[in-house]
Amino acid sequence: MQRERLKKYAELIAKCGLNVQKGQEVIIRCDLDQPEFVAMCVEECYKLGAERVTVEWSYMPVSKLHFDYRTLESLSDFTEVERAQWQRKVDKVSCQLWLDSDDPDGLNGTDSEKISKANMARFPFIKPFRDKLENRYQWCIAAVPGKQWAKKIYPDMNPDDAVEKLWEDILLCSRVDDDPIKAWEVHNKNLADRCRFLNDYKFEKLEYKSADGTDFTVGLNPKGIFMAGGEYTLGSNIYFNPNIPSEEVFTIPMRGKAEGKVVATKPLSYQGKLIENFWIRFENGKAVEVFAEKNQDLLEKMISMDEGAAYLGECALIAYDSPINNTGILFYNTLFDENASCHLALGRGFNNCLENYENYSVEECEKLGVNSSMIHVDFMIGSKDMTITGITKDGKRVPVFKNGNWAI
């Protein structure tokens, strides 16, 4: 990939994704796949005045070895070092960047129950830090190609060509053209216009229908708002773009208000495995029945991770005719696949989708119907013929999606 184009991408991530401020610390989490690009990101962050940029490298085969060889007790341990790291994050409010290049099959064969149990054991220690940090720092998830990931998407190409092709796909979907920063300004404005339209109607619920069998209604939170693209940090009011790419317009459902069956339109990559051809049926907001042709046990495990894992935490609208979907590729990666299609998420809801959320404590947000869980897992339900109708409190029906695309 051309160096100049990659530099533009790194600049986009630092300026528009993180919007690094003078004197801030930045933590970058990445795999070993693209060290030169990581260096470009580090440089762009320093150019914006970052005080310290820390890179936390990882390597999936080593992570897998930890999962395979360590005992549940050892994996569940929350060490003093980790406690200190979390405390520092709270004290310094560092920006955080994830450069995702994960091998979708990288954890195949690991004991997913052991991983789930370890995560469950660690969650109570992490939650207080996470609650303190929530919405207070800039973060961004962007992607770089990994060899295994590229091979998964393009199994017939030679490895170097596959990586190059995946770079092309990532940059195209991320709007890295001649002037990506300008492109993102325009994109953010378009997304904001859509949010305004939806928020003006104050829909009580959305009704989804599709020929594949989706027949589903989800109640929206009365205090909820639709959001998209960039957002502001709480307190410091810094505008940043948490996802590059991002096409979704999303809000939070009202906990306990979802009825009917949703059929997934793409496989779900969870804990390094693919759950395929599945559907979920909801009653009173709760997933009460699931079916999957492949890895049904994993899907069942996922929704029983904790009390909130069977309830919805997000409801996102994306046109079927979106840049990512138009590539025609299944990326096996949530950042891309979730931005290719209308989706729902099981688990934790976003408190910042509540109007004036800064006035509520985390507990109050939960009382207002925002779901709480240790998981937040998106699954895709958008299809070519999907109809979505917004229904207002007084029963007015407004077409929101027609034939898979925006009707507004």
Contacts with Zn ion by CB under 5 A lie at 248, 316, 338
- The candidate with the shortest Cα–Cα distance to 332, out of 156, 208, 159, 155, is 155
Residues whose CB falls within 8 Å of the CB of residue 325, separated by 6 or more in sequence, listed in order: 318, 319, 340, 341, 382
Min. distance of Cβ 347 from Zn ion in angstroms? 12
What gap in Å lies between CA 317 and CA 15, rounded to an integer?
A: 26
Min. distance of Cβ 338 from Zn ion in angstroms? 5
Closest CB to Zn ion among 148 and 371? 371
Residues whose CB falls within 8 Å of the CB of residue 71, separated by 6 or more in sequence, listed in order: none
Computed on alpha carbons and rounded to an integer, the radius of gyration of the chain in Å comes to 21
- End-to-end Cα spacing for the chain: 38
Closest CB to Zn ion among 34 and 333? 333
Min. distance of Cβ 251 from Zn ion in angstroms? 10
Are 215 and 262 a contacting pair, CB within 8 Å?
no
Closest CB to Zn ion among 218 and 316? 316
Closest CB to Zn ion among 67 and 357? 357
Min. distance of Cβ 114 from Zn ion in angstroms? 28
What gap in Å lies between CA 124 and CA 184, rounded to an integer?
A: 37
Closest CB to Zn ion among 45 and 381? 381
For the record, the structure tokens of 330 come out as 């299944």
Min. distance of Cβ 143 from Zn ion in angstroms? 15
| Polymer length of the chain | 408
Min. distance of Cβ 378 from Zn ion in angstroms? 5
What gap in Å lies between CA 154 and CA 148, rounded to an integer?
A: 10
Q: Rounded to the nearest 5°, which phi and psi values hold at 11?
A: -65, -40
**Dihedral sign (CA 134, 135, 138, 143):** positive
Closest CB to Zn ion among 70 and 376? 376
Min. distance of Cβ 248 from Zn ion in angstroms? 5
For the record, the structure tokens of 9 come out as 């991408």
When CB distances to Zn ion are compared, the closest residue is 316
Closest CB to Zn ion among 60 and 315? 315
What gap in Å lies between CA 271 and CA 246, rounded to an integer?
A: 23
